[in-house]
């Protein structure tokens, strides 16, 4: 019997995680101590990047990335409409304009052909960069996007909030992890409780580029530096300089300790998610009216979300809810949010994302979902669809 509602995602906190937090609370530092660089190091090893900047949430990480990439008022930046608001908002924080380009109907990622069409139809230099979101955990073939970006002199900001642990295989046969920065300039992750690993609230910006790294680190802490090599005047050891108008986007040591502990199970948990996907897919293969998610042979999808497409989405959503299964709809197209409509975006502009939105539903997907719970969810979905 299922007595507690099953949500679409939930955090997984172990006794070891709790101990790591308690240990930090008893230590000398609650913030700006050794747990933060330790977390940055562990995370950069996990995603194979050189530099990582831990911050208080991914929205801050996106903002820092947009600053480091040099987004200025009036700059035009391309963005996918199938994402959480922050992916585009970070461009607006810097005064840039967001141009939404439609998604691919199979992967739900920003469509490569439509991207090319958009770039070809504008004078060269119109667009400074693109924000690409590894939606649901599906990693872009970033090598292909990089070719296009290079042709037009654009940067790539990758929002991999859904995709730590995911990778694609490039033309050299290498596994390119989201965050490695082999093809994107900066990659951002979130540690909100519904994401793969959590720090309560938290985020990370990863890059191979030292300049971007230093800029993001500076802006994370008020634009203040203590680095004697960078100070403009000499004084005692107390002396620091505020060199830019930065922010306080710091994460705490308490959170970073939790993150490092969580990270130990991250790889295993992606495998568990993929096993849950295998079971869902198997259960739904022969069911008329359910489209299961696509995954190409050259990608390793991290499945932050398990999204099906169904004809009567509202009906299924309500039926599941009556039966204590809290499936979720992600996302309402960002270009159609009232805020973004003021810039001239309107219904009908991007038909594929609108079609996707009408039918999408994310079923429960998290590592502690039990076999009994998953079977119950499958049973309820089948009951509704066969009615």
Ligand X SMILES: *Cc1c(COP(=O)(O)O)cnc(C)c1O
Minimum distance, C-beta of residue 380 to ligand X, in the bound complex (Å): 26
Minimum distance, C-beta of residue 328 to ligand X, in the bound complex (Å): 12
Nearer Cβ to ligand X (96/152):
96
Minimum distance, C-beta of residue 301 to ligand X, in the bound complex (Å): 15
Nearer Cβ to ligand X (225/269):
269
In which residue are the tokens 């963005």 written?
79
Beta bridge partners of 326: 7
Beta bridge partners of 176: 168
Tokens for 288? Answer: 């008329």
Q: 331: cis peptide before it, omega within 30°?
A: yes
Instruction: Give the interface with ligand X as residue ranges (CB under 6 A).
Output: 57-59, 83-84, 86-87, 133, 159, 161-162, 190, 192, 203
Minimum distance, C-beta of residue 21 to ligand X, in the bound complex (Å): 19
DSSP label at residue 342: T
How far apart CA 220 and CA 6 sit, in angstroms, is 37
- Alpha-carbon torsion, ordered 147, 148, 150, 153, to 10 deg: 180
How far apart CA 293 and CA 313 sit, in angstroms, is 15
Minimum distance, C-beta of residue 160 to ligand X, in the bound complex (Å): 8
- Residue 144 CB-density burial (10 A; 0-12 exposed, 13-18 middle, 19+ buried): middle
The residue among 210, 224, 227, 219 whose CA lies nearest residue 249 is: 219
Nearer Cβ to ligand X (87/225):
87
Nearer Cβ to ligand X (62/276):
62
Nearer Cβ to ligand X (66/385):
66
**Contact between 369 and 356 (Cβ < 8 Å):** no
Tokens for 61? Answer: 């990480």
**Contact between 273 and 302 (Cβ < 8 Å):** yes
Minimum distance, C-beta of residue 150 to ligand X, in the bound complex (Å): 25
Residue with the CB atom nearest ligand X in the bound state: 58
Nearer Cβ to ligand X (85/169):
85
Minimum distance, C-beta of residue 201 to ligand X, in the bound complex (Å): 6
Nearer Cβ to ligand X (6/160):
160
Nearer Cβ to ligand X (88/218):
88
The residue among 162, 166, 168 whose CA lies nearest residue 197 is: 162
Minimum distance, C-beta of residue 94 to ligand X, in the bound complex (Å): 16
Cα-flanking dihedrals φ and ψ of residue 114, to 5°? Answer: -70, -35
Nearer Cβ to ligand X (84/280):
84
Minimum distance, C-beta of residue 309 to ligand X, in the bound complex (Å): 20
Minimum distance, C-beta of residue 25 to ligand X, in the bound complex (Å): 23
Q: Which residues of 61-80 are buried (b: 16+ CB within 10 A; e: fewer)?
A: bbbbbbbbbebeeebebbbb
The strand pair at 241-242 and 299-300 is best described as unpaired
- Residue 355 CB-density burial (10 A; 0-12 exposed, 13-18 middle, 19+ buried): middle
Consecutive H or E run containing 300:
strand 299-300
Nearer Cβ to ligand X (190/269):
190
Helices and strands of the chain, counted as H and E runs = 13, 17
């Amino acid at each position: 019997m299922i007595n507690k509602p099953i949500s679409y995602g939930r955090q997984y906190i172990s006794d070891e995680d709790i101990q790591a937090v308690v240990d930090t609370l008893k230590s000398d530092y609650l913030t700006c101590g050794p747990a933060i660089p330790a977390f940055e190091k562990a995370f950069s090893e996990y995603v194979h990047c050189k530099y990582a900047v831990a911050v208080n949430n991914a929205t801050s990480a996106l903002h820092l990335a947009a600053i480091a990439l040099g987004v200025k008022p009036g700059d035009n930046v391309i963005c996918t409409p199938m994402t959480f608001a922050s992916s585009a908002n970070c461009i607006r924080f810097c005064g840039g304009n967001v141009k939404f380009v439609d998604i691919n109907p199979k992967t739900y990622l920003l469509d490569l052909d439509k991207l090319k069409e958009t770039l070809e139809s504008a004078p060269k230099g119109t667009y400074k960069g693109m924000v690409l979101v590894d939606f649901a955990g599906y990693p872009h073939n970033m090598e292909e996007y990089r070719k296009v970006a290079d042709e037009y002199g654009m940067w790539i900001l990758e929002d991999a909030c859904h995709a730590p642990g995911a990778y694609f295989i490039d033309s050299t046969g290498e596994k390119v992890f989201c965050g490695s920065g082999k093809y994107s300039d900066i990659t951002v992750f979130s540690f909100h409780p519904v994401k793969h690993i959590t720090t309560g609230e938290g985020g990370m910006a990863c890059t191979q580029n030292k300049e971007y790294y230093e800029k993001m680190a500076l802006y994370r802490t008020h634009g203040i530096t203590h680095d004697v090599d960078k100070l403009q005047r000499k004084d005692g050891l107390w002396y620091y300089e505020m060199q830019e108008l930065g922010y306080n986007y710091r994460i705490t040591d308490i959170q970073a300790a939790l993150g490092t502990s969580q990270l130990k199970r991250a790889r295993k948990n992606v495998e568990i998610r993929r096993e849950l996907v295998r079971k869902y897919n198997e259960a739904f293969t022969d069911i008329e009216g359910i489209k299961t998610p696509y995954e190409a042979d050259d990608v390793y999808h991290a499945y932050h979300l398990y999204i099906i497409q169904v004809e009567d989405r509202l009906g299924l959503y309500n039926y599941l809810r009556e039966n204590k299964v809290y499936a979720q709809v992600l996302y309402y197209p960002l270009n159609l949010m009232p805020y973004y409509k003021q810039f001239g975006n309107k219904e009908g502009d991007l038909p594929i994302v609108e079609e996707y939105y009408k039918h999408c539903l994310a079923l429960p997907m998290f590592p502690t979902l039990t076999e009994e719970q998953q079977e119950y969810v499958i049973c309820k979905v089948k009951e509704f669809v066969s009615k």
